[in-house]
Structure 1
């Protein structure tokens, strides 16, 4: 049985348990990065592709030599290596949008994976449950929803604000053949001012940053940048004050992420429950939010304006909303259709006249032919609803020749050979 649903709960470890889990999280990050370097070095030097079995054997040797690696449960270390192997498989799959695996940066976001056979879940009362973790013991978590199936794996994570435990559950979910309300179709337009506008006139929006929070976050990041510049200039260690500022930045960003995730899931649940077909514009979000800096030889233009647009797009969670829709549609039977995005904001939904001057402002649409007036986002959503579906149903990445010929091509940013050999010797 494989996990087909996820359940996430707030975890409340004791102080000593939290410290040990944080230590394990940093060990998992080190193990992932070192195993990635080992694969890259093996491909560069011998054109050999390492598998999970070989790296698990190296992990066993490392556990004998390094106490801090041996403190991490063996099952968690093996799960980290399997995650890296799956990242490579996703990269090699032409239909998968994932790119080459990259190093995990040191940050406040930590995670420790566990297989299902290494943990035990028990409900204590109506509000609380406990999960038994190896070498940790029982840890309380808030029983906010039923599990709904057999637990197949778990991930304990820290997002900068609080600890959480996520369970992969086999619930036997089967997508319904027909929606509860067949024939209902809605078009959704994603915007930077209004997050979501529907073809039936509804508009959903939420501010994910509180008043003054953006200014405070910018101040903290500026201070962190100055401290990092001074540390590199003088060659000193990171100070306790710098660590506190980084922790405050991580807490603030985690709160913003939680509000954004709550909004997109709330919206996806309601749209999928009420409509049999949800139509979206096919938008290449990754390409749309790429930097415009350019190079020294060919610098970009309107860099600051493009950076502001990128932040606005990412703040509204366009990609996260599409993922939430796809996940919820598995339960309700809703079909997610993607339509071409060209001219949906410039075309009149009543007469079809298309002109860039039809959109007088960010919020106002006035047709230059028939005089139809409406909210610009709602007019675009109606065009999305009435548009024909795009030809390609999957947003998979394009297959390139070098992807076929070099199955384990390392990323361009690599450490020196000495550093790679040191990392392999540590593993």
Structure 2
């Protein structure tokens, strides 16, 4: 099974760090130039008609070797330019296939960098038990060396991506992961579970309800939330972030002190992102790691729509009316802090690796339906915490009741309608390679 890995790397020497930013700028320059050229052709075609030139990987006409402005690119291998052209062609191929949006030029100055290295530009060797060294460069042009720690062995990848986030650099790649017992495919899983009865499916299922007060409530009684230490540290990090943002507002934009305050504010945001990612990984691991569960039901929430800004309201004389934007902004922030979408993505890929089935249940009325009698009414949930059925008198924690409803609906969807495996589009072909060589 192909899996992705991502590790933080340490540049060995100032030259290695400079190489990364120089080569990434050259690759992004070629990509942006090709995108702008294509946009020019499209604009000309829409206005005057004619025939569009094919999307190819030619880039030599974009670089003037005699121009002094391009002198810094002479120390960059030609494979870096070629990879930028390949990324441009892939971007348009994915756009025509309906996978991504139309390519646009990427910002280079003041933005995070990305560098795609193919097989002839790098090598990875193991220097100790868990430490690996990435050497970048060609026979004629030396690059740099980076050190990273991998918690488990991997096969050497065909290509790697080096990406920067603030002052940190990360390496990411895809590799083949070996299993002692290969998990069932989704089709095999569906075929086997289709032979079970409804009661048997309920015994091996779990429902997940997501909320603002309790991020994740399971039908078996388990609850997942940030620890008190994490909550306190996140609040302190948010206060420091606002402090540094006020410092930025009082300083000259682009000055040395302004950049220092900006980096400190960014560190606060990065810490909060790390906490959310850690919470998502631990929560998804605990949910998927339960061996008695084979079906996981989860609400099909449109988080992007739920956290969208409210539309402005205008009166007849074109004066703006209150639209609750401040209250909605607070709700949006509370939803995004709970890492609903990130945890859902982690649950999906971990469930696939573990051979478990994910069923998304329509979200409407799950919090107003009784898990015992099925009565649906607004009066069933008069408060945020307590659920009391007006028909049968059943009383339970509101989130726990909603999780049980989601579980029952997931089993009902599978038992009555059936679930078909979704087709996966592959955009890149990988070759198998031997494991990394030891030092």
What is the TM-score when the length of structure 1 is the normalising length? 0.78
Cα 1:29–1:219 change in 2 (3 A) is farther
Q: Measure, in 1, the Cα distance between the counterparts of 2:54 and 2:383.
A: 56
Note the C-alpha offset of 1:379: 1.6
**SS class of match (2:21):** helix
Give the equivalent residue in structure 1 for 2:39.
Answer: 40
Q: Measure, in 1, the Cα distance between the counterparts of 2:388 and 2:172.
A: 48
Q: Measure, in 2, the Cα distance between the counterparts of 1:63 and 1:330.
A: 50
Give the equivalent residue in structure 2 for 1:352.
Answer: 374
Note the C-alpha offset of 1:295: 7.4
- From 186, 193, 212, the equivalent of 2:213 is 193
Cα 1:85–1:197 change in 2 (3 A) is farther
Structure 1: any 5+ residue segments left out of the alignment?
232-237, 397-427
Q: Measure, in 1, the Cα distance between the counterparts of 2:75 and 2:153.
A: 32
- From 241, 245, 251, the equivalent of 1:221 is 245
Retained in 2: the 8 A contact 1:338–1:389?
no
Give the equivalent residue in structure 2 for 1:12.
Answer: 10
Q: How many residues align?
A: 380
Give the equivalent residue in structure 1 for 2:115.
Answer: 112
Give the equivalent residue in structure 1 for 2:399.
Answer: 377
Are 2:274 and 1:272 aligned? no
Q: Measure, in 2, the Cα distance between the counterparts of 1:167 and 1:382.
A: 39
Give the equivalent residue in structure 2 for 1:159.
Answer: 165
Retained in 2: the 8 A contact 1:338–1:393?
no
Q: Measure, in 2, the Cα distance between the counterparts of 1:316 and 1:285.
A: 11
Are 2:255 and 1:247 aligned? no
Q: Measure, in 2, the Cα distance between the counterparts of 1:200 and 1:294.
A: 42
Q: Measure, in 1, the Cα distance between the counterparts of 2:339 and 2:393.
A: 33
**SS class of match (2:234):** coil
Once structures 1 and 2 are overlaid, which stretch shifts more, 24-33 or 360-369? 24-33
Deviations 1:77-98 (A, max 9, x none): 433443344343443334x4x4
Q: Measure, in 1, the Cα distance between the counterparts of 2:367 and 2:66.
A: 62
Q: Measure, in 1, the Cα distance between the counterparts of 2:349 and 2:53.
A: 33
TM-align CA RMSD:
3.2
Larger radius of gyration: 2
Retained in 1: the 8 A contact 2:303–2:341?
yes
Cα 1:52–1:196 change in 2 (3 A) is farther
Note the C-alpha offset of 1:166: 1.5
Q: Measure, in 2, the Cα distance between the counterparts of 1:185 and 1:220.
A: 47
- From 156, 170, 174, the equivalent of 1:168 is 174
Are 2:78 and 1:78 aligned? no
Cα 1:219–1:23 change in 2 (3 A) is farther
Q: Measure, in 2, the Cα distance between the counterparts of 1:22 and 1:393.
A: 46
Q: Measure, in 1, the Cα distance between the counterparts of 2:61 and 2:304.
A: 36
Cα 1:37–1:15 change in 2 (3 A) is same
Give the equivalent residue in structure 2 for 1:51.
Answer: 55
Q: Measure, in 1, the Cα distance between the counterparts of 2:116 and 2:313.
A: 40
Give the equivalent residue in structure 2 for 1:137.
Answer: 144
Q: Measure, in 2, the Cα distance between the counterparts of 1:49 and 1:366.
A: 66
Note the C-alpha offset of 1:342: 0.5
Note the C-alpha offset of 1:123: 0.6
Give the equivalent residue in structure 2 for 1:121.
Answer: 124
Deviations 1:140-161 (A, max 9, x none): 21132211x2412111222225
Q: Measure, in 2, the Cα distance between the counterparts of 1:253 and 1:395.
A: 36
Retained in 1: the 8 A contact 2:219–2:407?
yes
Give the equivalent residue in structure 1 for 2:437.
Answer: none
Deviations 1:376-420 (A, max 9, x none): 222211111111449897999xxxxxxxxxxxxxxxxxxxxxxxx
Cα 1:327–1:87 change in 2 (3 A) is farther
Cα 1:64–1:294 change in 2 (3 A) is farther
Note the C-alpha offset of 1:138: 2.9
Note the C-alpha offset of 1:197: 1.3
Give the equivalent residue in structure 1 for 2:101.
Answer: 99
Retained in 2: the 8 A contact 1:117–1:152?
no
Cα 1:124–1:198 change in 2 (3 A) is same
Runs (4+) off by over 6 Å: 390-396
- From 335, 339, 361, the equivalent of 1:339 is 361
What is the TM-score when the length of structure 2 is the normalising length? 0.76
